[in-house]
């Protein structure tokens, strides 16, 4: 859930006040350390004091700018660079040291105030939205038969679809309620403007653009370019293969309404880590923050982050060292690591990235930039993870993973005294589809069934592609009679779908078998019973659902 803006701003303001209180202690400490540095009587002692000062100035440079103390952050950064130059010099000059000490005294005595209003994190795109059971789709198609067929087919997939033949009617509906997506025909001969011109103007009026899918008889470059400029996320030539269009809708909604991204922040600066956490949570991300790098293993295993944000300079274990520890574990190789540091030296940044890491973000960073950087990496990481752990054609669990879910739900059902149903589904005469219409058409049929199952089943249900045209569903806390009603409704909706290949329309059916957990059954026996019930449905004539004896 996205934190309300006023609550978020109140918490950010509180953190800013805490940081200001911290400055009241840290700035006098800088003056004391400058005095100790001035009194040091040998280069070795001077070097030790300077190393401590450099680390403190580095943290101050990053944190001050983030909390809005811009001048303080810039001053601390300049003094940090002076300290680094003195430490790196082959022959240290006392004049450089005197200049640094004078700068430290000057910095510690100045009065600093917040100079920069913090951005509202809610101006950034959210990683997900609150999901509704049924997505509302508005269709603008001037040909009644085509539009009505599209409406009915999308309704079979579980969408709340409404069809409009005129722009004026669609405008009136938009005034009452915004949809979750728009499907618009480019060619509207009876209108004063094209569908794309209307869509582009509409998107400009909205606070947040709607997912837009375009249908047209023209698939030339100029039309597709205009569609992209109007914000189109899908482009389909007539006659439209509606299951393909629905598959694109499914992908759009998966990105918009998916689970929040998980982000782990590792920073020994508690106020800074808290601030980053608040900003990212305000963008609807799940965030955990830890201040001790030694706790990394438990957080990585239990939280399973999709992005790790690391501070570079931490006592006891630096960011690059921690990144290398993470990379020692194969299970975390896919997790992007972003360094978040006040380090501006390109050579040091590249050194950190070469050891382990994927990106380097320099403090201070605006709220919008932080959210954008994390969002881009998390989105890419999830896509990669899904590509490796899920079936590439359907996005469902692979064979081994869905079988594991059967065992998990069986154990849970026995422990809780509930019933779970296991459903084996198979597309009837699938070989004929491939032989008659080609393998791409067969793939489209498989995707359509996968999307229909996703639409009609619950979030707690598990879905997997068991192999070829066969699917497996695990329905926890679902007695067999209830499972039968649900799966039979899906069977009917699937039979009502129409697929189009080179102008030829065809339909496909499915058969299914259902088994149910009990105290005397194992996971493998549960699967065998569902498979036998599926075979019985095939033997009885297909296009039906049977329960195991």
Separation CA 318–CA 153 (nearest Å): 57
Categorize the per-residue pLDDT at 105 as very low, low, confident or very high, splitting at 50, 70 and 90. Answer: low
Task: Give whole-number Cα distances, 548 to 77, 469, 522, 524, 535, in Å.
Answer: 72, 21, 15, 14, 10
Answer yes or no: do 337 and 411 share one domain.
no
Instruction: Answer yes or no: are the C-beta atoms of 340 and 267 closer than 8 Å.
Output: yes
Assign residue 212 the CATH number of its domain.
3.40.50.2300
Residue 114 lies inside a defined structural domain of this protein: no
Instruction: Give pLDDT, residue 326.
Output: 94
Residue 227 lies inside a defined structural domain of this protein: yes
Instruction: Give pLDDT, residue 450.
Output: 92
Segment 160-174, tens digit of pLDDT? 999 999 999 999 999
| Residue listed under structure tokens 């030539």 | 237
pLDDT score of 399 more than 50? yes
Categorize the per-residue pLDDT at 3 as very low, low, confident or very high, splitting at 50, 70 and 90. Answer: very low
Residue 126 lies inside a defined structural domain of this protein: no
Q: Which residue has the higher pLDDT, 510 or 98?
A: 510
Instruction: Give pLDDT, residue 129.
Output: 47
Categorize the per-residue pLDDT at 491 as very low, low, confident or very high, splitting at 50, 70 and 90. Answer: very high
pTM for this entry:
0.61
Residue 129 lies inside a defined structural domain of this protein: no
Please give the share of the chain, as a percent, with pLDDT higher than 70. Answer: 88
Give the count of domains, the chain.
4
Instruction: Give pLDDT, residue 117.
Output: 45
Answer yes or no: do 202 and 268 share one domain.
no
- E strand segments, 350-479: 359-362, 421-427, 462-467, 470-475
Categorize the per-residue pLDDT at 126 as very low, low, confident or very high, splitting at 50, 70 and 90. Answer: very low
Instruction: Give pLDDT, residue 266.
Output: 93
Separation CA 157–CA 152 (nearest Å): 9
Residues 6+ apart with CB under 8 A from 401: 389, 464
Residue 122 lies inside a defined structural domain of this protein: no
Residue 15 lies inside a defined structural domain of this protein: yes
Separation CA 342–CA 383 (nearest Å): 30
Answer yes or no: do 435 and 528 share one domain.
yes
| Pairing between β-strand 421-427 and β-strand 470-475 as defined by DSSP bridges | antiparallel
Answer yes or no: do 144 and 182 share one domain.
yes
Domain endpoint, select from 370, 389, 408:
389
Domain endpoint, select from 389, 409, 424:
389
Segment 317-335, tens digit of pLDDT? 989 999 999 999 988 888 9
3-class secondary-structure state, position 88: helix
Answer yes or no: do 356 and 441 share one domain.
no
Separation CA 69–CA 548 (nearest Å): 69
Segment 62-83, tens digit of pLDDT? 677 677 677 777 777 777 777 7
Answer yes or no: do 381 and 407 share one domain.
no
Categorize the per-residue pLDDT at 509 as very low, low, confident or very high, splitting at 50, 70 and 90. Answer: very high
The residue segments making up the domain with residue 509 are 399-547
Distance of CA 399 to the CA centre of its chain: 24
3-class secondary-structure state, position 158: coil
Answer yes or no: do 184 and 69 share one domain.
no
Tokens describing residue 307: 């992005």
Q: Within 13 Å, how many C-alpha atoms sit on residue 28's CB side?
A: 4
The span from the first CA to the last CA of the chain, in angstroms, equals 44
Residue 119 lies inside a defined structural domain of this protein: no
Instruction: Give pLDDT, residue 140.
Output: 95
Instruction: Answer yes or no: are the C-beta atoms of 33 and 49 closer than 8 Å.
Output: yes
Task: Give whole-number Cα distances, 446 to 115, 235, 439, 467, in Å.
Answer: 58, 21, 10, 11
Answer yes or no: do 45 and 74 share one domain.
yes
DSSP codes of every residue in 93-111: -HHHHHHHHHHHHHHHHS-
Residue 394 lies inside a defined structural domain of this protein: no
Answer yes or no: do 250 and 269 share one domain.
no
Is the previous residue joined to 9 through a cis bond, with omega within 30 degrees of 0? no
Instruction: Answer yes or no: are the C-beta atoms of 523 and 474 closer than 8 Å.
Output: no
Separation CA 288–CA 281 (nearest Å): 10
Assign residue 449 the CATH number of its domain.
3.30.70.270
Tokens describing residue 384: 């990669």
Domain endpoint, select from 389, 418, 452:
389
pLDDT score of 421 more than 50? yes
Separation CA 135–CA 129 (nearest Å): 12
Instruction: Give pLDDT, residue 167.
Output: 93
Residues 6+ apart with CB under 8 A from 242: 149, 150, 153, 154, 497, 498, 500
- Closest of 284, 223, 300, 235 to residue 1, by C-alpha: 284
Mean pLDDT within 266-291: 88
Mean pLDDT within 115-144: 63
Answer yes or no: do 186 and 50 share one domain.
no
Answer yes or no: do 85 and 179 share one domain.
no
Mean pLDDT within 35-51: 75
Instruction: Give pLDDT, residue 127.
Output: 42
Residues in the chain, total: 549
pLDDT score of 36 more than 80? no
Separation CA 121–CA 103 (nearest Å): 35
Answer yes or no: do 266 and 249 share one domain.
no
Instruction: Answer yes or no: are the C-beta atoms of 319 and 312 closer than 8 Å.
Output: yes
């Amino acid at each position: 859930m996205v934190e309300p803006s006023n609550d978020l701003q109140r918490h950010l303001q509180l953190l800013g006040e805490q940081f200001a209180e911290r400055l009241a202690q840290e700035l006098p400490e800088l003056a004391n350390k400058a005095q100790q540095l001035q009194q040091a009587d040998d280069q070795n002692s001077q070097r030790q004091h300077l190393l401590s000062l450099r680390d403190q100035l580095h943290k101050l440079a990053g944190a001050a700018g983030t909390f809005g103390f811009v001048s303080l952050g810039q001053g601390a950064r300049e003094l940090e660079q002076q300290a680094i130059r003195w430490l790196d010099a082959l022959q240290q000059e006392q004049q450089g040291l005197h200049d640094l000490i004078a700068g430290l005294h000057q910095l510690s005595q100045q009065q600093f105030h917040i100079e920069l209003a913090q951005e509202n994190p809610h101006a950034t795109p959210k990683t997900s939205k609150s999901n509704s059971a049924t997505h509302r789709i508005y269709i603008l198609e001037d040909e009644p038969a085509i539009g009505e067929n599209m409406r009915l087919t999308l309704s079979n997939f579980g969408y709340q679809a409404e069809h409009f033949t005129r722009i004026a009617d669609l405008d009136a509906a938009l005034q009452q309620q915004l949809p979750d997506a728009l499907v618009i025909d480019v060619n509207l001969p009876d209108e004063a403007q094209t569908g794309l011109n209307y869509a582009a103007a509409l998107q400009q009026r909205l606070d947040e653009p709607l997912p837009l899918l375009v249908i047209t008889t023209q698939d030339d470059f100029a039309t597709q370019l205009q569609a992209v400029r109007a914000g189109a996320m899908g482009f389909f030539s007539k006659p439209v293969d509606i299951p393909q269009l629905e598959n694109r809708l499914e992908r759009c909604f998966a990105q918009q309404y998916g689970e929040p991204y998980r982000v782990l922040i590792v920073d020994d600066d508690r106020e800074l880590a808290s601030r980053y956490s608040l900003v990212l949570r305000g963008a609807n991300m799940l965030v955990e923050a830890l201040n001790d790098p030694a706790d990394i293993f438990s957080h990585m295993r239990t939280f399973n982050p999709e992005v790790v944000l690391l501070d570079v300079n931490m006592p006891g274990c630096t960011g690059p060292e921690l990144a290398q520890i993470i990379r020692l574990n194969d299970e975390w190789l896919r997790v992007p690591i972003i360094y978040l540091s006040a380090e501006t030296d390109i050579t040091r940044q590249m050194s950190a990235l070469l050891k382990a890491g994927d990106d380097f973000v320099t403090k201070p960073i605006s709220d919008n930039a932080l959210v954008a950087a994390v969002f881009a990496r998390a989105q890419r990481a999830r896509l990669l993870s899904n590509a490796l752990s899920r079936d590439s054609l359907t996005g469902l669990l692979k064979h081994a993973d869905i079988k594991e879910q059967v065992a998990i739900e069986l154990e849970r059902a026995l422990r809780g005294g509930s019933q779970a149903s296991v459903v084996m589904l198979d597309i009837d005469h699938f070989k004929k589809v491939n032989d008659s219409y080609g393998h791409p058409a067969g793939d489209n049929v498989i995707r359509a069934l996968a999307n229909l199952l996703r639409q009609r089943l619950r979030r707690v249900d598990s879905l997997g592609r068991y192999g070829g045209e066969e699917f497996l569903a695990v329905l926890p806390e679902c007695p067999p009679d209830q499972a039968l009603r649900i799966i039979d409704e899906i069977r009917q909706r699937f039979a009502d779908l129409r697929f189009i290949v080179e102008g030829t329309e065809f339909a496909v059916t499915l058969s299914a078998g259902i088994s149910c957990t009990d105290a005397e059954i194992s996971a493998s026996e549960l699967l065998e019973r569902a498979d036998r019930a599926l075979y019985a449905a095939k033997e009885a004539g297909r296009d039906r659902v049977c329960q195991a004896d």
